[in-house]
Amino acid sequence: MEEVYDRDDNVLAVRAAVENFFDTDDVKHKPFNEHNVARATYSIGAKFGHATVIFHAYSDKLMLHVMIPLNAAKEERAKVGEFLHRANYGLKVGSFDFDYDDGEISYRITLFCGSDEFAPPTYEQIRFSVILGLMMVEKYGDALVKVMFGLVEPVDAVEAAEADD
C-alpha cells in the first residue's frame, strides 16, 4: 500500500530519510536544526582537505550543498566565476554555485520529491548525491584553488581538471 503524505509531514519524511542515511553509513553529523538543516563534514583528496555537506529538507525536495571551505577574494571573484561557469558546462547532475557578494562556493544537488505525488528520497539517491557532490568538489578543487590564488587562468584550470575525462 502506498503511503500518503501531507505537506506538513513531507519535511519530516525528508529529514527521516537523511537521518536513515546518516545511521546506515555511520556518518558523524550535526542533526537537523529548527531550519531543517543538518551538516556532515567529509575528508576529500583536494588541497583544502575537507568539505561540509549541508542537507536542507523542504516539503518537496532535499537540497545538498557541498561547501568548499575557502571563499574567493574580492579581486579574484570574476576569474573564479568564469572558472565555475566553465566547469558547470556539460555537468549532468548538480552544479557549482557562487556568491559574488562574499565569495562562497558550493556544489549543489537537488533531489525533487514531488509535491502532488510526494515520495521521500531513498538511501541510494542520498548516497549517490553525496558521493557525486564530493567527487565534483574533489575533481575541480585543486584547479579552483589555483584560480583563487591567481596562479592559473580559468580556461586552463578547467582543461587541467577535465584532462582525464
Read off the C-alpha cell for 103: 565569495
DSSP H or E run through 108: strand 105-112
- Asked which of 3-12, 30-39, 93-102 is least confident by mean pLDDT, the reply is 3-12
CA 165/CA 154 separation, integer angstroms: 18
CA 106 to chain centre: 6
Q: Quick: pLDDT tens for 22-75.
A: 999 999 999 999 999 999 999 999 999 999 999 999 999 999 999 999 999 999
pTM for this prediction: 0.92
The whole-angstrom separation of Cα 59 and Cα 12 is 8
Q: Tell whether domain 7-161 is in CATH 3.40.50.450.
A: no
Q: Average per-residue pLDDT in the chain?
A: 95
For a pLDDT cut of 70, what percent of the chain falls above it? Answer: 95
For range 79-103, the mean pLDDT: 97
